[in-house]
Structure 1
Amino acid sequence: MKKFLMMGAAALALAACDTAVPDSGRGVGFDDYTAYELERAAAEGRGALPAAPTVSEGAIPSSDLASAGIGAQIDEVAAATGRTQGIDASPTNAAPAVINNSGISDEQDFDAVAGRESIESDAERLSRMADQYQIVDPGAVPTRHGDAGPNIVEYALNAPNAKGQEWYSRFVMSGQGRFQRNCAKYASPDEAQRDFLSRGGPERDPKGIDPDGDGFACGWDPEPFRAAVRAAQQEAGN
């Protein structure tokens, strides 16, 4: 019992030595006197608490940008594009000018061309283009070697009739269906005409691929070859 009385007396002595919390610090949410002193020191401006940095509304401090390396990136972009400031997202803000863009031609812009060209310079340019124009004389058709099949170019130039003009008799029972099926087996009209001639054409048509009897199988047309020869003869005559 005596032991408990001594412990109680010691506790009362310690409580008497502790500094009491002023009335101004009571009931404002502080758990102890230390928290109260820190808040009071900050309020009186004695530097006990660090002051918050002053930042303008809506802006990021330049020191924060520099520490993140953003300022250097902005300088690099400005050097590359020639732009010295950012672009505001505003409907009234004009679009930025394109600088040093050599990939866009202004040949279709009359004002731009008229500013640097004249009738004389345009005539000089046309003259230079005409001097560079070259006419290649057509040569003879190369001779085929080996088993290349009939020469369809020679046949086109020597055939006595035009495409669609009946020249040879045909079996009336050949039929359009047979004509379409057999012509579908060839990769091109030239191939069909070459095979047609190798099988006895134009007099004979064992596969029924020349039902109209003009001597041209599967719609093959000799006119392109004939036109090329006429053009060559006309150039030679000039």
Structure 2
Amino acid sequence: MRKMLLIPAFGFVAACDTVAPVTDSGFNTPQYQAEREAQLAGQGAAGNPLLPPPAISQEQLNAEAGPAPFTTGDSATDIANQTAAALASTSAQPTAPVAVSSNGISNEQDFAAVSSSRSIQDDAALIQQNRQTYEVVAPTAVPQRGSDGQPNIVQYALTTTNPVGTQLYSRAGFNLQAKAQRNCAGYASPDQAQIDFLANGGPQRDRKGLDPDGDGFACGWDPSPFRSAVGN
């Protein structure tokens, strides 16, 4: 019984393994191959030209490539002007070359460069021209201070060494400070008071009472600035 059941089963499997016959339809047919070769040669199946593929959308290309520099409404002049402006903005401006010799110094300091541009005769002519325009100024004597008959307080200050207020000369009388204050008010400056003091017998004698403490300086005149100037 088991042998009889196995026989139909083997027959069913054998029927499934049978290779299907080749038909005249599909991609492997001689007719399809001939039409394909004709299409590649530029002819359709019926001898008509092969139709071009559909054009790609321009909007899609523009979206992928980024914004276009020019629009369809720009004229030829506008496009030319925009192109020139773009080229000018990207091109570097040339700089003037610096004249530098092979030694790394400027040509003005390079003897070889100078000698090639100026001869020895040119230098000699330039030296001669400078000698002709050169002028020697003879030194003259230092001008002397004009003498107007008045004492020189600068010279007097430099001949003294005592500080202000140190008595060197005797003074006699009453109320010397009050008298000096009253008399000193008649001068425009301590310098003028000192000149008048020296012109009338000072510092040994004080006829007008301008030096009550006997230090040799009238009306508070101070010789220190003159002494400091000489020391510097």
Q: TM-score, normalised by structure 2?
A: 0.37
TM-score w.r.t. the length of structure 1 is 0.36
